Amino acid sequence: MPSIQILPSLLAADFGHLAEACLFAERAGADAMHLDVMDGHFVPNLTMGQDIVRMADRTMNIPSSVHLMCTHPAVLLDGFLDAGSDLILFHVESHDAPGPLLKKTRAAGRRAGVVLNPETPAEACREFLGTVDEILLMTVHPGFGGQAFLQHVLPKIADIRSWAPDLDISVDGGITLDTAEACARAGANAFVAGTSLYRASDMKAEIAAMRERCEKAFFGRRA
Ligand code: DX5
Ligand code: ZN
């Protein structure tokens, strides 16, 4: 049975104090830290690379979830494995097919997953269900934090959950207490939230509230 996981996204932190932002999230009760790697080509933005992942890995005692928004993740993979990434997430829309990358990541003893953009049909992840640890569904168009949640992704969560009752299914983009609860009701169990957690007046209370609402919604689904 999947467990509820709350992951702050470092993209929403103050880039002048990234190590402190990692520790702050860990102390606030985060289950893992989400790190958004953007290459300026797959998406029109540049963010962080393997050295930030290495810093986070050395700073925190919680796992890292590394989201590669890159056209050619194959050329970057060794660097992110070397940096200590615990989970690496590959977009099915990237130029490099996820299959060999998932295999290589798992062979290195790390967790691996695939990501679907909002308009990519659920079927696109079906061939990977037996070889991934997680499916991440984008609930905004990737590239920037602070965007509004896209409701039309909700049925896709339910479809994938019906195919994979025990898999980790995460959502990323526009996640707040309300949208997290809606995703949990649809079958998501892991929640990436940047703006809503880093802008909260009390991140610890916000994570606790998100966890409580998502647990009720997720485990009460069939009730
Ligand atoms: C968007 C990134 C997200 C982003 C979420 O491309 O993949 O992880 O940090 O930010 P919020 O929670 O602000 O929508
Ligand atoms: Zn992300």
Question: pLDDT tens digits for 89-114?
Answer: 999 999 999 999 999 999 999 999 99
For this structure, is 202 an active site residue? no
Q: Which bound ligand lies closest to the C-alpha atom of 87? A: 2
The finding on whether 9 has its CB within 6 A of some atom of ligand 1 is yes
Cβ of 81 below 6 Å from ligand 1: no
- The response to whether residue 174 sits with its C-beta less than 6 Å from ligand 1 reads yes
Pick the ligand that lies closest to the CA of residue 8. 1
pLDDT confidence of residue 165 = 97
Q: Is 63 exposed, middle or buried (0-12, 13-18, 19+ CB in 10 A)?
A: buried
Selected catalytic residue, list 31, 36, 57, 96: 36
pLDDT confidence of residue 160: 98
Give me the percent of the chain exceeding a pLDDT of 90: 99
Which residue among the candidates 31, 57, 96, 172 is catalytic per the annotation?
Answer: 172
pLDDT of 210 higher than 90: yes
Q: Is the CB of 175 under 6 A from ligand 1?
A: yes
Residue 133 a catalytic site member: no
Residue of 6, 10, 33, 36 to test ligand 1 pocket, by largest number of atoms within 8 Å of CB: 36
Decide if 57 contacts 84 (C-beta within 8 A).
yes
Does residue 4 carry a pLDDT above 70?
yes
Mean pLDDT of 129-154: 98
User: In ligand 1, which atom is closest to the CA atom of 10?
Assistant: 9
Q: Which long-range contacts (CB under 8 A, 24 or more apart) does 155-158 make?
A: 155/186, 156/116, 156/121, 156/122, 157/183, 157/186, 157/187, 157/188, 158/186, 158/187
Sheet with 111-116: list strands edge to edge.
5-8, 190-193, 168-172, 134-138, 111-116, 87-91, 64-69, 33-38
Q: Which domains, and CATH codes, for the chain?
A: 5-219 (3.20.20.70)
- The verdict on the CB of residue 186 being under 6 Å from ligand 1 is no
Mean pLDDT of 173-202: 98
What is the best residue among 64, 177, 192 to mutate for testing ligand 1's pocket, by most ligand atoms within 8 Å of CB? 192
Query: How far is residue 61's CA from residue 199's CA, in Å, rounded to a whole number?
Result: 23
The CA-atom distances, in angstroms, between 171 and each of 41, 55, 126 are 22, 24, 17
Please name the amino acid found at residue 21.
A
User: CA–CA separation, 110 vs 23, rounded Å?
Assistant: 22
Q: Is the pLDDT of residue 222 over 90?
A: no
For residue 34 and ligand 1, the question of a CB distance below 6 A is answered with: yes
Judge whether residue 223 has pLDDT over 70: no
